Chains A and B, each alone.
Chain A
Amino acid sequence: AQRVTQPEKLLSVFKGAPVELKCNYSYSGSPELFWYVQYSRQRLQLLLRHISRESIKGFTADLNKGETSFHLKKPFAQEEDSAMYYCALGGSDYGGSQGNLIFGKGTKLSVKP
């Protein structure tokens, strides 16, 4: 069964400290993984896609198929990074557009001054 696990409900760090938000997935096919972020009173936004291997706002995430993980990392946290972060798994058995994302329960990141 397809599943996304974000083990931490809340992660609290001080400004300037490194951050790692954990995400593990279960999927038998070729996964597509995403990180979404939701800032206070804003809509859910796409932060990263594993396929693009990009760095956005200093965040990176590497897909580790051996460990079935897609952890989100940032070397130096900023107060404005405080938000809810969701890991999402894409992919389905359909041959066409694969639109069903499976979300984890989310991790609330709190960056303290």
Chain B
Amino acid sequence: DAGVTQSPTHLIKTRGQHVTLRCSPISGHKSVSWYQQVLGQGPQFIFQYYEKEERGRGNFPDRFSARQFPNYSSELNVNALLLGDSALYLCASSLRHTYGYTFGSGTRLTVV
């Protein structure tokens, strides 16, 4: 099993641009969550999707959006990028919440 895979691994964007980050969950996992991790902080919850429906949204502006596809992969979109969006974006999947989540290696986004 490849685990949770995320692409790209690194990305540099300019302020005002938009970005799409991709995540493939572990096979059989229907729940996918997105987190933002800023240097020196723990991951902060952005979105959760379960069975292609949004089940949770963290305290992030509407510039952040996400979706889950029929194969349970997911995309995180961020519009009108700000310098403060520079962070590691983590995707995690789970078979069942009480089992805990398996995290991907993340996408390092740098906004210049």
Q: Which of B44-64 contact A (CB under 8 A)?
A: 44-45, 48, 50, 55-56, 58
B90-112 interface bits toward A, Cβ cutoff 8 Å, 1 = contact, 0 = none = 10001011111111111000000
What's the A-B contact tally at a CB cutoff of 8 Å?
71
Chain A interface residue count, CB cutoff 8 Å, equals: 26
Given A44-B43, A86-B42: A97 and B100 interface contact (C-beta under 8 Å):
no
| A101 in the interface (beta carbon within 8 A) | yes
Chain A residue contacts of B101, Cβ below 8 A: 46, 99, 101
Asked whether, in the complex, the Cβ of B97 is within 8 Å of the Cβ of A44, the reply is no
Asked whether, in the complex, the Cβ of A99 is within 8 Å of the Cβ of B33, the reply is yes
Could you tell me the distance between the alpha carbons of A51 and B56 in the complex, rounded to whole angstroms?
Answer: 22
Asked whether, in the complex, the Cβ of A43 is within 8 Å of the Cβ of B97, the reply is no
CB distance from A26 to the nearest CB of B (A): 15
Of the A-B pairs whose beta carbons lie under 8 Å apart in the complex, a sample of 6, sorted by A's number, is: A88-B42, A97-B97, A98-B55, A99-B94, A99-B101, A101-B43
